[in-house]
Amino acid sequence: MICNKRNTIQYDRKKTIMKNVIFISPNFPENYWHFCHELKENGMNVLGIGDCPYDDLRPELQESLQEYYKVDSLENYDEVYGAVGYFIWHYGRIDWLESNNEYWLEQDARLRTDFNIPSGFHNEDMPRIKYKSCMKEYYQRVGIPVARHHMVDNYEGCLNFIREVGYPVVTKPDNGVGASHTFKISSDEELGNFFANKWDDTVYIMEEFINAEINSYDAIIDSHGNPIFEAGNVTPMSIMDIVNNADNALFYIVKDLADDTRHLGRETAKSFGVRSRFVHFEFFRLLSDHEGLGKKGDLMALEVNMRPSGGFTPDMINFARETDVYKIWADMVAYDSTQKPVGTHHFCAFAGLRDGKDFALTPDDIIEKYDDHLKMVERMPDALADAMGNQMYLATFDTEEELHTFFADVTGLKEVDTSEESETTETIIDK
């Protein structure tokens, strides 16, 4: 199904040459319409491919797209291939193809390769940016420590590795998105359970467990490998625990990027050969000394993501820096630079609360107490809820103390009144 929508686009020919940009799945996450809007504002010819009916796209996205091609399934490569071919037939050479979505990263690369689209990663780039085992080499090239690992083979092979590093260990798909099918294994029994339940068609990597919090480097990189914008976030809990234990999801954009995070982020971008990308690199900051990796407070490698951090993180960065990263990214595509200013820095907190928990504060209580700080209050899409909770609150603060008080308030549970139970127990004992 093809939905035509041709808009007259005004732009300054002195500033940029009109480019044909294909955006895959422009409706998910929903906030990605901002990317399409800013591309259009920069004179881009924005062409969308998705499996959502055109009439279901939000009006702002419809307005941003020159044309939209609906496929029955984005999982069907032949359909998506045909959509790209259609756009080339109608509009000529495609200059840029993007989804900004980890799930479609390999398909994006295949399409760029098959149609000789110059921007972005191609098939030959996939191993180092998708496989966690391959990433380690590129971290080590610039002297960044990596966790010891073992490619999962059989029970005995894994047990030999565990005898070397000790319990616990973490297993996860070598080519995986988020924390899907990631496990912390703390005993021989749990190791056996893992082998009984693992996916047969999936290659797993096993790593020594690291006591750490996640610190990220989020940057928009130009065609020369230089950052034109930088920020970062801290996740005090593991995504694995959030998913497996159905915990609340908490993280925050830092007020100012730490010097060591900035340095390692830039070194990582160089090692991986990053050009013209919005990236999200994750590092472990050690919470205790770890032999062979560093002292408490040191950074070590976790993984690279060659796309923006997920969910509403781009909006959080905007609130934390009083800027517009959607615009900066679109400027990078159009001009390889940006003049978008960055304002006052703040912390920006994300609290994703789980349904079914008996919180002390109701949603109305949270809104009333933090009205001056709240920037967004939303229900998370079902597709993101496992990793990010069901009910989301974004709020900005100027001090770390305010930030942590907010987290404590919104996640606090009602106190259970045990006085009646204690009285009954005492009566029974007296008898």
Summarize pLDDT for 21-63 with one digit per residue, the tens.
999 999 998 999 999 999 999 999 999 999 999 999 999 999 9
Which of the four pLDDT bands, split at 50, 70 and 90, describes residue 430? very low
Among 160, 178, 208, where does a domain finish? 208
pLDDT (0 to 100) of residue 4: 45
Arithmetic mean of pLDDT, 81-88: 98
Which of the four pLDDT bands, split at 50, 70 and 90, describes residue 176? confident
Integer Cα distance of 147 and 131 in angstroms: 15
- Where do we find the tokens 């990597």? 205
Q: State percent of the chain over pLDDT 90.
A: 84
Which of the four pLDDT bands, split at 50, 70 and 90, describes residue 13? very low
Domain of residue 248, CATH code: 3.30.470.20
Same domain for 83 and 178? no
pLDDT (0 to 100) of residue 11: 36
- pLDDT > 70? residue 18: no
Same domain for 345 and 395? yes
- pLDDT > 60? residue 427: no
Residue 263 lies in a domain: yes
Domain of residue 159, CATH code: 3.30.1490.20
Same domain for 325 and 242? yes
Same domain for 179 and 48? no
Residue 349 lies in a domain: yes
Summarize pLDDT for 281-298 with one digit per residue, the tens.
999 999 999 999 999 999
- pLDDT > 50? residue 428: no
pLDDT (0 to 100) of residue 16: 56
Arithmetic mean of pLDDT, 159-181: 89
Integer Cα distance of 352 and 178 in angstroms: 16
Arithmetic mean of pLDDT, 244-250: 84
- pLDDT > 70? residue 420: no
Same domain for 23 and 108? yes
Same domain for 225 and 161? no
Which of the four pLDDT bands, split at 50, 70 and 90, describes residue 8? very low
Contact between 129 and 304 under an 8 Å Cβ cutoff? The reply is yes
pLDDT (0 to 100) of residue 426: 42
Same domain for 183 and 241? no
If one compares 130 and 180, the residue with the highest pLDDT of the two is 130
Residue 282, domain extent: 212-411
Same domain for 296 and 227? yes
pLDDT (0 to 100) of residue 17: 61
* Residue 347, Cβ density class (10 Å: 0-12 exposed, 13-18 middle, ≥19 buried): buried
Residue 264 lies in a domain: yes
Tell whether pTM > 0.85: yes
Arithmetic mean of pLDDT, 195-201: 92
Same domain for 235 and 342? yes
- pLDDT > 60? residue 250: yes
Same domain for 161 and 296? no
From residue 288, how far is each of 41, 167, 197, 213 by CA, in Å? 48, 16, 32, 10
Integer Cα distance of 333 and 25 in angstroms: 18
One-letter-per-residue 3-state SS of the chain: CEEECCCCCCCCCCCCCCCEEEEECCCCCHHHHHHHHHHHHCCCEEEEEECCCHHHCCHHHHHHCCEEEECCCCCCHHHHHHHHHHHHHHHCCCCEEECCCHHHHHHHHHHHHHCCCCCCCCHHHHHHHHCHHHHHHHHHCCCCCCCCEEECCCHHHHHHHHHHHCCCEEEEECCCCCCCCCEEECCHHHHHHHHHHCCCCCCEEEEECCCEEEEEEEEEECCCCCEEEEECEEECCCHHHHHHCCCCEEEEECCCCCHHHHHHHHHHHHHCCCCCEEEEEEEEEECCCECCCECCCCEEEEEEECCCCCCCHHHHHHHHHCCCHHHHHHHHHHHCCCCCCCCCCCEEEEEEECCCCCECCCHHHHHHHCCCCEEEEEECCHHHHHHHCCEEEEEEECCHHHHHHHHHHHHCECCCCCHHHHHHHHHHHHC
Same domain for 269 and 402? yes
Among 184, 208, 232, where does a domain finish? 208
Arithmetic mean of pLDDT, 379-404: 93
Among 208, 226, 248, where does a domain finish? 208
Taking the alpha carbons of 414, 420, 424, 425 in that order, is the dihedral positive or negative?
Answer: positive
Q: What is the total count of domains within the chain?
A: 3
Residue 198 lies in a domain: yes
Residue 427 lies in a domain: no
Same domain for 67 and 163? no
Integer Cα distance of 121 and 126 in angstroms: 7
Mean of all residue pLDDT scores within the chain: 91
Arithmetic mean of pLDDT, 258-274: 98
Domain of residue 59, CATH code: 3.40.50.20
Summarize pLDDT for 339-362 with one digit per residue, the tens.
999 999 999 999 999 999 999 999
Residue 139 lies in a domain: no
If one compares 8 and 60, the residue with the highest pLDDT of the two is 60
Residue 161 lies in a domain: yes
**Poorest-confidence range of 86-90, 164-168, 221-225, 236-240?**
236-240
pLDDT (0 to 100) of residue 385: 86
- pLDDT > 90? residue 414: yes
Which of the four pLDDT bands, split at 50, 70 and 90, describes residue 415? confident
- pLDDT > 80? residue 9: no
Integer Cα distance of 70 and 25 in angstroms: 10
Contact between 81 and 89 under an 8 Å Cβ cutoff? The reply is no
